[in-house]
Chains A and B, each alone.
Chain A
């Protein structure tokens, strides 16, 4: 019997070697893009007389700016990555950031500003000067509720995730505008500003990325998330409660959007109804550039973090070269499309192999 099964093995010969993790390609992309900017940095004086030759990478200030810039959208991307792995999408994160920012900030206000009552006050004095943990929990809870509504709609009404979260995108933005009739909410307590100060956004981003990387890699949660994304029917037949799990994943994505709102308002010292516009697309782009497949089942937080860094390097690199912000958007859009084309090509190649 052993001999016979042995005869089937040669057919598998070419696929015998260990798989090449997709993250390696993303890492190579990151390094290549960074090196291009490095070279251009040294060549710059050839076409710009006002600037001396300088290194792009050998500059700790620039590196910390790169990471700082992507930290907030990166937090969202950690959640969006998990949603995309289930085969879904979340278009609502930017709007959820807006709504959550307003609601959380309203619980973070000080009663007195320079001896006068807070001119932007939302609540009476009894809900002011609260410990920072209160608005923090409010932010996470608001985000999680929005996400849970997304998840419930998708799991139990079977409408496509695209539509469910598009609805939430519009609704949550409406909530953000309605909450204070379009007025900004400002003057947070000193304690509240801690979440967004200095390197804290980066630390929060990294901590959450590590946490959910571990969850996806080593827990039941991860297996179920990947299983649902690669074959929902198989997951169901195997006894996975698909509906409940989808609600959990979307709730987590919402909660992470809430954390992003917390960090953003804490950093900016104000909340505005327009906050977070287009963040969902940046977050999705980070995931897609990081090799997370839009058809579900494939991708990782590591990839998304690398994708976020590519995003940051490009933004920073363009500024470094003095290229206009308009071109940045055009190029970013092109990079997203190229990343998806690469993913589709990769799948076709695999389909041919199988």
Chain B
């Protein structure tokens, strides 16, 4: 369990004079689920954007799966096995579930360039498999996403990530807009990922959820990582103290 999947050293991002992320040292072990918490503007999303190549970092190094990487964009990150569930979901509302699951990597029956014939049957079957595996229940796969509830959409987005991510899933507040039942469903899916040994970085504001789901909690404050706490060695008050800066003002670098 000591294989390191993701490691960052001195990861820094500045927007002009704004230091959004300073010297972030972070490691993620194989199969580990880590929560990234912190106030708004603490640098959580900035951190994730540097890893997935959505933005280009100012300084620092990233190792993924044993190699130093420098992703030019999210697509390259995805090709390396990092799947991101974005806050705004990145689903095409007017397409059905299989088309969304396979968006950008459709299965092809005959290759005719842009007019390649889709293998709808295979995509449908593999979608069914992926949904079963992630315990997502969607009444009718051929309905468009537009006709689904927020929870179902989130489930589709997560199922998409889970069915392609071989190595790492990043979720940016996956339950922020969901009701109680739907949140429970998403959390169940996350537990399923844990059972399957797929590592996860979960950005969340919900401490109850964080303590329920992850192994380790990394706290960001003002662009710096101020704490990296094992779940069973900490509690809510401790985490909040770090988030608000009551503790950890002397913050150094954490490995």
Assuming the A-B contacts A1-B188, A237-B74, are A223 and B118 also in contact, with contact meaning beta carbons closer than 8 angstroms in the complex? yes
In the complex, which residues 136-168 of chain B have their Cβ closer than 8 Å to any Cβ of chain A? 136-137, 139-140, 142-144, 146-152
Q: Is A5 an interface residue (CB 8 A)?
A: yes
Please, which residue of chain A has its CB at the minimum distance from the CB of B184?
A4
Please, which residue of chain A has its CB at the minimum distance from the CB of B136?
A5
The answer to whether B139 touches A9, judged by C-beta atoms less than 8 angstroms apart, is: yes
Which one of A2, A4, A12, A238 contacts B139 once the chains associate, using CB atoms below 8 Å? A12
The answer to whether A229 touches B118, judged by C-beta atoms less than 8 angstroms apart, is: no
The answer to whether B105 touches A239, judged by C-beta atoms less than 8 angstroms apart, is: yes
Please, which residue of chain A has its CB at the minimum distance from the CB of B150?
A354
The answer to whether A8 touches B94, judged by C-beta atoms less than 8 angstroms apart, is: no
Per the bound structure, the CA–CA distance linking A286 and B74 in Å amounts to: 39
Query: Chain B 161-199 against A: per-residue CB contact (8 Å), 1 yes, 0 no?
Result: 000000000000000000001101100100110000000
Per the bound structure, the CA–CA distance linking A19 and B88 in Å amounts to: 25
Per the bound structure, the CA–CA distance linking A237 and B49 in Å amounts to: 13
Task: Pick from A40-48, A57-65, A214-222, A333-341 the stretch touching chain B.
Answer: A214-222
Please, which residue of chain B has its CB at the minimum distance from the CB of A240?
B104
Which one of B89, B106, B146 contacts A354 once the chains associate, using CB atoms below 8 Å? B146
Q: Is A11 an interface residue (CB 8 A)?
A: yes
Q: Is A15 an interface residue (CB 8 A)?
A: yes
Query: What are the residues of chain A within 8 A of B140 when measuring CB–CB?
Result: 16, 18
The answer to whether A221 touches B115, judged by C-beta atoms less than 8 angstroms apart, is: yes
Please, which residue of chain B has its CB at the minimum distance from the CB of A18?
B140
Q: Is A213 an interface residue (CB 8 A)?
A: no
Per the bound structure, the CA–CA distance linking A189 and B28 in Å amounts to: 75
Per the bound structure, the CA–CA distance linking A229 and B144 in Å amounts to: 14
Nearest chain A CB to B92's CB is how many angstroms away? 4
The answer to whether B114 touches A7, judged by C-beta atoms less than 8 angstroms apart, is: no
Per the bound structure, the CA–CA distance linking A234 and B120 in Å amounts to: 20
The answer to whether A238 touches B93, judged by C-beta atoms less than 8 angstroms apart, is: no
In the complex, which residues 1-56 of chain A have their Cβ closer than 8 Å to any Cβ of chain B? 1-2, 4-9, 11-12, 15-16, 18-19
Q: Is A226 an interface residue (CB 8 A)?
A: yes
The answer to whether B103 touches A350, judged by C-beta atoms less than 8 angstroms apart, is: no
Assuming the A-B contacts A226-B92, A230-B94, A298-B94, are A1 and B147 also in contact, with contact meaning beta carbons closer than 8 angstroms in the complex? no
Q: Is B241 an interface residue (CB 8 A)?
A: no
Query: Chain B 106-121 against A: per-residue CB contact (8 Å), 1 yes, 0 no?
Result: 1010001011111010
Per the bound structure, the CA–CA distance linking A4 and B182 in Å amounts to: 10
The answer to whether B188 touches A219, judged by C-beta atoms less than 8 angstroms apart, is: no
Per the bound structure, the CA–CA distance linking A248 and B99 in Å amounts to: 21
Nearest chain A CB to B105's CB is how many angstroms away? 7
In the complex, which residues 57-86 of chain B have their Cβ closer than 8 Å to any Cβ of chain A? 74-75, 78, 86
The answer to whether B103 touches A223, judged by C-beta atoms less than 8 angstroms apart, is: yes
Query: What are the residues of chain A within 8 A of B1 when measuring CB–CB?
Result: none
The answer to whether B93 touches A297, judged by C-beta atoms less than 8 angstroms apart, is: yes
Q: Interface extent on B, as a size class?
A: 35 or more
Query: What are the residues of chain A within 8 A of B188 when measuring CB–CB?
Result: 1, 4-5
Give the interface SS of chain A, mostly helix, strand, loop or mixed: helix
Which one of B75, B92, B147, B191 contacts A19 once the chains associate, using CB atoms below 8 Å? B147
Nearest chain B CB to A237's CB is how many angstroms away? 5
Q: Is B36 an interface residue (CB 8 A)?
A: no
The answer to whether B118 touches A239, judged by C-beta atoms less than 8 angstroms apart, is: no
The answer to whether B181 touches A7, judged by C-beta atoms less than 8 angstroms apart, is: yes
In the complex, which residues 186-228 of chain B have their Cβ closer than 8 Å to any Cβ of chain A? 188, 191-192
The answer to whether B135 touches A226, judged by C-beta atoms less than 8 angstroms apart, is: no
The answer to whether B147 touches A15, judged by C-beta atoms less than 8 angstroms apart, is: yes
Per the bound structure, the CA–CA distance linking A354 and B116 in Å amounts to: 33
The answer to whether A223 touches B99, judged by C-beta atoms less than 8 angstroms apart, is: yes
Query: What are the residues of chain A within 8 A of B192 when measuring CB–CB?
Result: 1
Per the bound structure, the CA–CA distance linking A354 and B152 in Å amounts to: 11
The answer to whether B137 touches A227, judged by C-beta atoms less than 8 angstroms apart, is: no
The answer to whether A219 touches B112, judged by C-beta atoms less than 8 angstroms apart, is: yes
Q: Is B91 an interface residue (CB 8 A)?
A: yes
Q: Is B95 an interface residue (CB 8 A)?
A: yes
Q: Is B90 an interface residue (CB 8 A)?
A: yes
Per the bound structure, the CA–CA distance linking A25 and B136 in Å amounts to: 33
Q: Is A231 an interface residue (CB 8 A)?
A: yes
Please, which residue of chain B has its CB at the minimum distance from the CB of A347?
B146
Nearest chain B CB to A211's CB is how many angstroms away? 10
Nearest chain B CB to A82's CB is how many angstroms away? 12
In the complex, which residues 199-250 of chain A have their Cβ closer than 8 Å to any Cβ of chain B? 215, 218-224, 226-227, 229-231, 233-235, 237-240, 245, 248
Query: Chain A 145-182 against B: per-residue CB contact (8 Å), 1 yes, 0 no?
Result: 00000000000000000000000000000000000000
The answer to whether A240 touches B103, judged by C-beta atoms less than 8 angstroms apart, is: yes
Per the bound structure, the CA–CA distance linking A239 and B90 in Å amounts to: 11
Per the bound structure, the CA–CA distance linking A7 and B115 in Å amounts to: 41
Query: What are the residues of chain B within 8 A of A8 when measuring CB–CB?
Result: 137, 151-152, 181-182, 185
Which one of B112, B116, B136, B181 contacts A11 once the chains associate, using CB atoms below 8 Å? B181
The answer to whether B114 touches A245, judged by C-beta atoms less than 8 angstroms apart, is: yes
Per the bound structure, the CA–CA distance linking A18 and B140 in Å amounts to: 7
The answer to whether A231 touches B78, judged by C-beta atoms less than 8 angstroms apart, is: no
Per the bound structure, the CA–CA distance linking A16 and B94 in Å amounts to: 17
Which one of B75, B103, B136 contacts A227 once the chains associate, using CB atoms below 8 Å? B103
A-B contact pairs, 6 of them (CB 8 A): A220-B118, A223-B106, A230-B94, A230-B146, A231-B92, A235-B92
Besides the known contacts A9-B137, A238-B105, 12 further A-B residue pairs in the complex with CB atoms under 8 A apart: A1-B192, A7-B181, A8-B182, A11-B149, A18-B140, A227-B95, A227-B99, A230-B146, A233-B88, A235-B103, A240-B103, A297-B94
Chain B residues with a Cβ under 8 A of chain A: 74-75, 78, 86, 88-95, 99, 103-106, 108, 112, 114-118, 120, 135-137, 139-140, 142-144, 146-152, 181-182, 184-185, 188, 191-192
